[in-house]
A = this chain, B = another copy of it.
Amino acid sequence: MIDPWSISTTSHDGDRENLLRRGNVFQIANGYMGYRGTLDEFEAGQGVGIMLAGLYDQAGDAWREPVNAPNGGFTQVSIDGVALSALGNKVRRHRQTVHFRNALFERETEFAARGKKLVLRSERFLSADIPNLGVIRLTLRCEKAATIRILTGIDFEIWDLNGPHLPELTAVRRGNAILVQGLTSENSRRVCVAEALGNAGAASDKVLQKDRKILRSVTFRAQPGQSYVFEKFFAVVTGNDAVAGSVDAAAAKMVLAAADAGYDECLRRHDAHWSRKWSRCDVTIDGDKEAQQALRYSLLQLLMAAPVNGSANSIPARALSGQVYKGAVFWDTEMFMFPFFLRTIPETAAELLRYRIRTLDGARRKAATEGAGYSGAFYAWESQESGDDACSYFNIGDPITGRKLRTYFRDKQVHISGDIAIAMWEYFRVTGDPSILLEGGAEVILECARFYFSYAYFKKEKGRYEILDVVGPDEYHERVNNNAFTNMVARETFIIADKLVGYLRHSHPKALRALLGKLRISRELARFREAARLLFVPKPDRRSGVIEQFEGYLRLREATPAKLLAARAHLNEYPGATQGLAVPTQVIKQADVVMMLHLFRSRFPESIKRANWEYYEPRTEHGSSLSACAYALVAIEFGNLDVAYDYFLRTAKIDIEAKYKVYVGTIFTGGSHPAANGGAWMTAVLGFGGVSDDGPRLSIRPRLPARWNRLEFPLAHRGGIFRVAISGSTVTLTAAPDNRRTLVVQVSGKPVRCPPGKSVIVNHGKNTPALAAR
């Protein structure tokens, strides 16, 4: 039985990989922090982690990564002196669940020890109302009378990939609260965790410290069949938070207030937030429970990882599931997650953009110091809090030689700046709201254009600009010239810069003058226009329609991913990095030209999409989780819905199935894949739902997979909110009552008007004309 609103498991084995995998799948998060899906009694050794968003630290020369907080959720229960753990042999049954509706983790375990049974149930959530807050309720019930001891408090033995980040932690009791606090090793940023129990009486508990834990000890005689409920609250506050007074005082105050309010009240406030979230974005699929569950789980991941309003944080490549990939923000956010937020919860999309505005200076520093020294903004390939690049020049280990390989991710993957500029402009285009542009987005766009101009070279013989020496999305081919994706993105940046200046000149002339003055960029605008006109972009071959991924790609040796990987001398051998097995071949890591055809889908005819999909698909290893959704989306465009559906499921199920490797060599790489989660949404709504707004107006051209009876989703567009319900033959559009304008939508080519508060039903025919032809 597939539950469309939850995922559960009864597994509780202690295999390290399984532990880590469950830690990923059952994690919860609230944008401020992520709590891995571990159990109350687990410790660092079992991969407990409370990762903090936007707080990074470097210990020695190791990789900089996010800080994990001390675990304020720790509880160890004993019965008649026997400590109980789900990993031991005392478990009779176990079930753990994540509830999608409110990102609530629940576990229920029946233990048996000394001939007595005890059922431990706990529920925990990270408050969507007060993001510093974690809330837990433990319920205990014994069949026979027994002596129960609960050790609960803060475990400050922290699991880090490259720690320790909080080298000296101190624990104290302060009134009803206990506190653990310390400073990060690099920047001495203070981190404090406070914990309190509810139900009063806690003041009299005995508090003890051992094994890097500060614990309350509560012992009582449990009566048969009686349930004992404990409420537990923890708050994490750091020097990054704008709190009145000290960090520790703030943390203590928060937990005590929460304990006062009680679990139920905290949950009520939390649920109210979640209910609003889902109303803005939930997608329902009738007739396909597997897809429904996987897609909703994907959306849950995105909602949980979404930055706290006002934080100007973004979403790391592994979201808040752990320190993997340095907790860094990649192009994943703008290209794969941003579209979801933009069309459902635009204020979160804006927050993601604010992160890039906030880190613009870092991007300027990077531009000035990479290579020959460039102008403008070259965004970090792996971005942390300052926008300086966390990506190292030797970013991959070679298991054969034990040496680090020089990779050019950091210095040559220049499409990142354009990806961001495109997102900035998309926000304005889709929402109609210029605020992000005026807040700094316009500056970002101009600085990105400036960067590309300083990166580009002019080829006099051919009368064109070229973008040389880059790494495109396919990271197996480094240092290539005129990568189609990169050049398209760079050209688009110039085009957008020009449109932006035109718009500002017309609508915000004063802001424009100030900006041009600040950047001293007026004289460069004509260059950007020229570059927009003369920047070379590889064209489809006249006969085959194939767009060459980069100069010389088509002359590389033919090979298939399977054969290539079979030739590896070591299972974890990396096929790229200038001397790898894939480098002299046409095998690519992930969608590259096909990603471009998705990103610029209104610019290419169906025949070109098909030709390139068919050319590149058998050459693609899908060695990145970003790949499958691009292949799904483009396959939909040319009408191959069956194969698109397969790729959709691959994308949508990546985290719920968690079949990915959690270790590559000695490096832990598991965690959630928010880009794939965003890809699942894109495939469902933009792909099968057929939503696009590349033209002058919003367009819906549904192409549902055969097994889907109905697809329904809300859409934010130009400040209004709409529901779209697609069945086999009709599209029902419903405009929210407080929309300010009538929406005009093209439904399968026909214009349809949808005034505020109204519903319209349109017949779209089973197939669109384009599909009917096949």
Partner of A578, one of B403, B466, B578: B578
Q: Are A552 and B458 in contact (CB under 8 A)?
A: no
User: Complex Cα distance A71/B584, Å?
Assistant: 42
Are the C-beta atoms of B552 and A372 separated by less than 8 Å? yes
Docked Cα-Cα span, A371 to B481, in Å, equals 9
Q: Size band of the A side of the interface? A: 20 to 34
Interface residues of A in 516-531 (CB under 8 A from B): 527
Q: Which A residues from 186 to 241 make CB contacts under 8 A with B?
A: none
C-alpha gap A459/B527 in the complex (Å) = 12
Nearest-neighbor residue (CB-CB) of A398 within chain B: B579
A406 at interface by CB-CB < 8 Å: yes
Contact partner of A453 among B457, B461, B578, CB < 8 A?
Answer: B461
Interface string of A60-84 (1 = CB under 8 A from B): 0000000000000000000000000
Q: Which residue on B lies nearest to A372, using beta carbons?
A: B551
Instruction: Indicate if A762 sits at the interface (CB-CB under 8 A).
Output: no
A window 631-675: CB within 8 A of B: none
- A96 interface contact, C-beta 8 A: no
The answer to whether A577 has its CB under 8 Å from any CB of chain B is: yes
Q: Classify the interface of chain A: helix, strand, loop or mixed.
A: loop
Q: Using an 8 Å CB-CB cutoff, how does the interface string of A460-504 with B read, 1 for contact, 0 for none?
A: 110000101100000000010110000000000000000000000
Instruction: Determine whether A454 belongs to the interface, using a CB cutoff of 8 Å to chain B.
Output: yes
A459 / chain B contacts, CB cutoff of 8 Å: 457-458
A405 interface residue, CB < 8 Å from B?
Answer: yes
User: How far apart sit A578 and B583, CA to CA, in the bound complex (Å)?
Assistant: 12
Any chain B CB within 8 A of the CB of A569? yes
**A468 to B: closest C-beta gap in Å:** 6
Q: Report the nearest B residue to A406, measured CB to CB.
A: B579
Nearest chain-B residue to A405 (Cβ)? B579
The answer to whether B527 and A406 touch across the interface, beta carbons within 8 angstroms, is no
Alpha-carbon separation in the docked complex, A453 to B527 (Å): 23
B466, A468: Cβ atoms closer than 8 Å: no
Chain B residues with CB below 8 A from A405, complex form:
579
Q: Which residue of B lies closest to A524 (CB)?
A: B461
Q: Does the CB pair B527–A460 fall under 8 Å?
A: yes
Q: With a CB–CB cut-off of 8 A, which chain B residues contact A333? A: none
A400 CB within 8 Å of chain B: yes
A375: CB under 8 A from chain B?
A: yes
| Nearest CB of B to A745, in Å | 44
Q: Contacts A569-B401, A579-B578: A481 and B372 contacting too (C-beta < 8 A)?
A: yes
Closest B residue, CB atoms, query A460: B458
Bound together, the chains give a CA A461 to CA B521 distance in angstroms of: 13
Q: Which residues of B contact A469 (CB under 8 A)?
A: 468-469, 479
Chain B: minimal CB distance from A509 (Å): 28
> Which residue on B lies nearest to A458, using beta carbons?
B458
Contact across chains for A371 and B551 when beta carbons are under 8 A apart: yes
Contact B479–A479 (Cβ < 8 Å): yes
A458 to B530, CA, bound (A): 15
Contact indicator B406/A578 (Cβ below 8 Å): yes
Q: How far is B531's CA from A459's CA once the two chains are assembled, in angstroms?
A: 12
Select the residue from A393, A469, A527, A578 with max chain B CB neighbours within 10 A. A578
User: Which of chain B's residues has its CB closest to A459's CB?
Assistant: B457
A584 CA to B393 CA in the complex, in Å?
A: 10
User: Is B371 a contact partner of A552 (Cβ separation < 8 A)?
Assistant: yes
What's the least CB distance linking A450 to chain B, in Å? 10
Query: How many Å lie between the Cα of A467 and that of B460 in the bound state?
Result: 13
Residues of B within 8 Å of A551, CB to CB, are 371-372
Give the residues in chain B near A579, CB-CB below 8 Å: 403, 405-406, 577-579
Q: For residue A375, which residues in chain B have a CB less than 8 angstroms away from its CB? A: 461
Contacts of A400 in B (CB 8 A): 400-401
Q: Are A454 and B458 in contact (CB under 8 A)?
A: no
Contacting residues, chain B, for A458 (C-beta < 8 A): 457-460
Residue of B nearest to A466 (CB): B457
Chain B residues whose CB sits within 8 angstroms of the CB of A479 once the complex forms: 469, 479
Contact of A468 among B468, B578, B584 (CB under 8 A): B468
The chain B residue with its CB closest to the CB of A481 is B372
> Which residues of B have CB within 8 Å of A584?
393-394, 406
Interface residues of A in 567-605 (CB under 8 A from B): 569, 577-579, 583-584
Q: Which residues of B contact A527 (CB under 8 A)?
A: 460
How far is B454's CA from A394's CA once the two chains are assembled, in angstroms? Answer: 33
Q: How far is the CA of A469 from the CA of B453 in the complex (A)?
A: 19
Bound CA span A469–B479, Å: 10
Which residue of chain B lies nearest to A577 when distances are taken between CB atoms in the complex? B579
Point out the residues of chain B lying under 8 angstroms from A457, CB to CB.
Answer: 457-459, 466, 468
**What residue in chain B is nearest A402 (Cβ atoms)?**
B569
Q: Across the interface, name the chain B residue whose C-beta is closest to A468.
A: B468
- Residue of A375, A394, A460, A551 with most partner-chain B CB within 10 A: A460
Contact B577 A406 (CB under 8 A): no
- Nearest-CB residue, chain B, relative to A453: B461
Q: Can you name the residue of chain B whose Cβ is closest to the Cβ of A454?
A: B461
CA distance A582 to B551 in the complex (A): 28
Note all chain B residues with C-beta closer than 8 A to A466. 457
> Which residues from B are CB-within-8-Å of A552?
371-372
Chain B nearest Cβ from A658, distance in angstroms: 33
Please, which residues of chain B bring their CB within 8 A of the CB of A371?
481, 551-552
A358 to B8, CA, bound (A): 77
Minimum distance in angstroms from A698 CB to a CB of chain B: 39
- In the docked arrangement, what's the CA distance between A400 and B569, Å? 12
Nearest 5 pairs of A and B residues by beta carbon: A457-B457, A578-B578, A458-B458, A372-B551, A458-B460
Given contacts A372-B552, A400-B401, A406-B578, 10 further A-B pairs with CB under 8 A are: A371-B552, A400-B400, A406-B584, A458-B458, A458-B459, A460-B527, A469-B469, A469-B479, A578-B578, A579-B579
Q: List 5 A-B contacts (CB under 8 A).
A: A401-B569, A405-B579, A453-B461, A578-B579, A579-B579
